[in-house]
Structure 1
């Protein structure tokens, strides 16, 4: 499992250029993945939403655009420099009824059964203890109609796997290093994606944490999956 202190330090170093690198490295496809997550959340009509590992707020802002202004959206992340970037974007856009606060997924500063929807995008694989994180997410979800949405990298189809891993292990760290000045951060990204379980493994983790109605939706030849589970 990743070392939380090292992960925090890494994101602190790249926070200012995180969005630029994301768009460039994914060729903009990451916006399509996030849009699918937002669409799935919208279908279940939550009264409030908690976005974990919110980073610079990409998912939180897309949710804010999609949902009525009276729907509360709170973003939490344990990396303060990433939250600084999110707050800058919020102030520029003028979004209201949302917040960005420090919060650790393994010990969330939230009441039991306090939210209808929990989202976490490309942050689940960075948790120091994924099972503990899932139990915390389950704790804050309301028993009735509480859903968890995990958007995360996955193992692609065999047809594209050689090309995918060539890009991931060879090209991505060097391109990202040129954009952010931090090759090591994106070497970690590459290594963490390669070591992350396939969709079936995440389904098993959700089951072990007591979630039900679990589904996994593969996207872009399996490179990414959206996992949805009921509390």
Structure 2
């Protein structure tokens, strides 16, 4: 699904969110920086939008590796890193079985990826497995909006967004999935409960844009 729109994915997201996704990303980056990590795994990294922002703000001795199952996306990240002279690694990795050692990451970040897990219980278990003791998990994800905003949000993600995305990317099918996946995803409190069930502690979240997006934070 993502392979066919790889070269236009980040651009489309910025247009469709009216640029707001950049501010949401920066909040994730700020929370990562506050944890003062030496190792960071950015999961569902795509072409590295979050990974490049992390590299910009974190010290040079901090290892940052982006993982994704979509090779065309990863290749875009590698080309950009080489072009910009940035030290970033991009590796193939599925969140159901990550090629990362146990308890090896100070921070794990994932933006808009948890919603796509085939098995969320298994996936959240993998995230906890690779985190160091007291390591930090940061999840930026779509959520269920406030009640008064829900009708507008429904129309946007089910009707407006797929058409605009199709025009921008040339793929009218890929973003139809987005509306369906958001509708079937738990609200922020529900995801917090799943994180606690997976063994995470100090679980919290911050809602943005009338609850349609949330930044979750938890410790292993």
Tell me whether the two structures share a fold, i.e. TM-score over 0.5: yes
Q: Which 4+ residue blocks in structure 1 deviate beyond 2 angstroms?
A: none
Corresponding position: 1:32 with 2:36? no
TM-score by length of 2: 0.98
CA distance in 2: counterparts of 1:117 and 1:175, whole angstroms: 34
| Structure 1 match to 2:39 | 48
Answer yes or no: is 1:92 the counterpart of 2:83. Answer: yes
User: Normalized against structure 1, the TM-score is what?
Assistant: 0.93
2:111 aligned residue: 121
Q: Give the corresponding residue for 2:215.
A: 226
| Distance across 1 between alignment mates of 2:20 and 2:205 | 19
CA distance in 1 between partners of 2:126 and 2:27 (Å): 24
- CA displacement 1:51-95 (0-9 Å, x = unmatched): 000001011011000011111100000110110111122122211
Q: Is residue 11 from structure 1 mapped to residue 2 from structure 2 by the alignment?
A: yes
Unpaired segments ≥5 residues, structure 2: none
Query: Using the alignment, how far apart are the partners of 1:87 and 1:188 within structure 2?
Result: 27
Give the equivalent residue in structure 2 for 1:7. Answer: none
Please give the alpha-carbon distance, in whole angstroms, between the structure 1 residues aligned to 2:158 and 2:44. Answer: 24
RMSD: 0.9
Name the SS of the counterpart of 1:196 in structure 2: coil
Map of 1:3 onto structure 2: none
Matches within 5 A, 1:97-176: 98-143=88-133, 145-176=134-165
Shift of 1:187: 0.1
| Partners of 2:150 and 2:102 in 1: CA distance | 41
The count of aligned residue pairs is 220
Q: Which secondary structure does the structure 1 equivalent of 2:148 belong to? A: coil
Query: Take 1:204 and 1:59, find their aligned partners in 2: how far apart are those partners?
Result: 25
State the 1:219 CA deviation: 0.9
Please state whether the residue corresponding to 2:41 is helix, strand or coil: strand
